Amino acid sequence: MVFWKRFFNPDSTSSPSLGPTGAEEFPTDDSDKGRIFFTTDRDIDLYELEELCDAVGWARRPIRKVKKAVECSFLVVTMWEVRGNRRRLVGFARATSDHAFNATVWDVVIHPSLQSKGLGKALMQYIIRKLRHYDISNITLFADPQVVDFYRRLGFVLDPEGIKGMFWYPD
So which residues are the catalytic ones? Answer: 151
C-alpha to C-alpha distances, 154 to 36, 73, 151, 157, 158, nearest whole angstrom: 20, 22, 5, 9, 12
Q: Kindly state whether residue 143 participates in binding its own copies, applying the rule CB under 8 A.
A: yes
Strand order in the sheet with 35-39: 24-26, 35-39, 75-83, 86-97, 102-110
Q: How far is the CB of 16 from its own copies (least distance, A)?
A: 33
Beta bridge partners of 92: 78, 109
**Which residue lies nearer to its own copies by CB, 67 or 86?**
67
Q: Kindly state whether residue 97 participates in binding its own copies, applying the rule CB under 8 A.
A: yes
Binding part of the chain for its own copies, among 4-12, 41-49, 110-118, 151-159 by CB under 8 A, reads 151-159
Binder among 80, 94, 111, 120 for its own copies (CB under 8 A): 94
Q: Name residues contacting its own copies, limited to 51-90 (CB under 8 A).
A: 61, 65-66, 68-69, 71-74
Binding part of the chain for its own copies, among 23-31, 52-60, 111-119, 141-149 by CB under 8 A, reads 141-149
Question: 43 CB contacts (<8 Å, ≥6 apart)?
Answer: 1, 2, 3, 4
CB–CB of 119/126 below 8 Å?
no
Q: Kindly state whether residue 155 participates in binding its own copies, applying the rule CB under 8 A.
A: yes
Q: How far is the CB of 53 from its own copies (least distance, A)?
A: 13
Q: Kindly state whether residue 164 participates in binding its own copies, applying the rule CB under 8 A.
A: yes
> d(Cα 89, Cα 49) in Å, to the nearest integer?
7
User: Could you report how far apart the first and last alpha carbons of the chain are, in Å?
Assistant: 42
Residues that bind its own copies in the complex, under the rule CB under 8 A: 61, 65-66, 68-69, 71-74, 94, 96-102, 104, 106, 128, 132, 135, 137-145, 148, 151-152, 154-170
